[in-house]
Amino acid sequence: MNDAATTRRPLERVPRRRPWRTRRAVVAVTALALAAALTGAAPGDGTGAPDAQPEGPAAPGVTWGGCPTGTPAAERCGTVRVPLDHDHPNAGPAIQVGVSRSLATGGAAERQGILLINFGGPGATAVGSAAAFAHVLPEPVRRAYDVVGFDPRGRGTSTRLDCLDLTTFARAPKPDTARTDAEGQRAIAEAAHGFADGCRRGAPQLLPYLTTRQIAGDLDAVRAAFGEQKINYLGYSYGTYLGAVYGQRYPDRVRRMLLDSVVDPTQVWYATGFAQARAFWLRWHDWADWVADHDTRYGLGTSREAVLARWNEAREALAAKPADGVFGGTEFDLVTISNLYSDRQWPTLATAVAAYENRRDAAPLRDLKGPTTPDDENFESVFQAVTCADAPSPADPAVFAADTARLKDQYGYLGADIASAGACLYLQSNTAPPTRIDGAGLPGVLMIEGTRDPATPYAGAVRMRAALPSARLVTVEGSGNHGQFIGGGACVDDAGTAYLARGVLPAADTTCPALPPPDPAKHTATPRRFVEAGR
């Protein structure tokens, strides 16, 4: 089999790493990375065995069972049966969706229902993360809500999709996404073809129904399984699009909805990459400016131009001779993209690039990537399948080749990586147009977005705001961090808390200041494992 472990884009946060994959569109945050990386909190110990967990309110449609290894004892896990096709619920077999619950800490009189969470992707899991995430929520929110995580269909504890065996998926180095010649494009297309073939073999019946519309139906089934009339929802990154689609389909079942790091609902999904290419390129420049300001520490140059030139030197050297034979130019692109999601990771990226450029020590770069796991393969399988099924994508390799060349010319290696062909070239399992979002019937929605966010560029949030007349947009001026609520500063956290705990929206769209950039002298975080994301 060809090396079909396709490149991924940066879009999700998943336990143990910060994310996003490349593959045209990158849209994800990370569960424990969000809970732990932003705030320093760590998940509790324990196996999450059912007999160690409190019962809580009735959940008549949940079959309770065991949790993933390492889940805190405060979190209870189970499954919900859902139809394969919510539009024709009696026409096919049922599948299962994994769920978990961490109980509200307040008394019965304070409880406001369940708060369903989604960390992005498509494909981020939340089962096993609800308790850790609840632990870092502001106290009024923690007291008011049972935090409910769910694994989207295809992922984790839900009915799974696995497109490749781990050996094939983990094979490295990946084809160089910057090669625009015929041979380079052929290698990329062969990898995409192999991945698509594996998806069709892995779950042919599931593939056409791995769409955001169907996942929104699963979300509603979870609501009903917990015995709730309406949901409260907190979605990051791709989770904002899922929330918007849910609200479009079931507006009368939404109580409160907070959308953070907002997807452009008019660009699903192929065109998302064009905006991302420019946004990551701009954020890469922001990083270079910061590195230049700290040249005494990193030794990569005293100007943006000098730092970017050193980065390019490293990229070209790794493409020509991959470190240890496995860490090449594409791997370097993806580690860079993953570490541009938050400026908290800038010191880690700078340290790793400096180690390679100044000493030819690639170990820190390889540590950032980390080993490839079965969970990574499962994430990538669902990420590819959902983006391919949600909306039509070009079916001609020449279109991807032309876009790769154009974006490489405009935005360098990162632009080429984001434009390169993925599984959708051969995996068009559903060609219905995307859901049109107009917000009809929705209650007030709170949106939060940084103006320099590379994964969900600000212009997309403005378009989502226009599509949701009942929304209010909190703009975090000058921030490029992906995922603002919880750890984005008092202004952001206060706005999110007022809305979720008390239902109070700003009177009009408003702004918050960005947090200051990191101080490398105070950077003590250990390198996090990045799995190019959505990774």
Q: Catalytic residue numbers?
A: 237, 453, 482
435 sits in the region (left: phi over 0; alpha: psi -120 to 50; else beta) called: beta
Q: Which of 429, 417, 431, 456 is nearest to 6 (CA)?
A: 417
**Omega before 527 within 30 of 0, i.e. cis:** no
CA distance 276 to 59: 40
Q: Are strands 17-18 and 27-28 parallel, antiparallel or unpaired?
A: unpaired
What is the identity of the amino acid at 443? P
C-alpha pair distances (Å), 180 with each of 10, 25, 183, 395, 402: 22, 19, 8, 18, 8
CA distance 320 to 317: 5
113 pairs with which residues across the strands?
145
Count CB-CB contacts under 10 A for residue 63: 12
**Omega before 173 within 30 of 0, i.e. cis:** yes
**Omega before 64 within 30 of 0, i.e. cis:** no
Count CB-CB contacts under 10 A for residue 430: 19
244 pairs with which residues across the strands?
none
Distant-in-sequence, close-in-space partners of 370: CB < 8 Å, separation ≥ 6: 16, 17, 529, 530, 531
CA distance 528 to 535: 12
Count CB-CB contacts under 10 A for residue 183: 8
Helices 238-249 and 458-467, interaxial angle, to 10°?
A: 10
CA distance 462 to 447: 10
13 pairs with which residues across the strands?
30
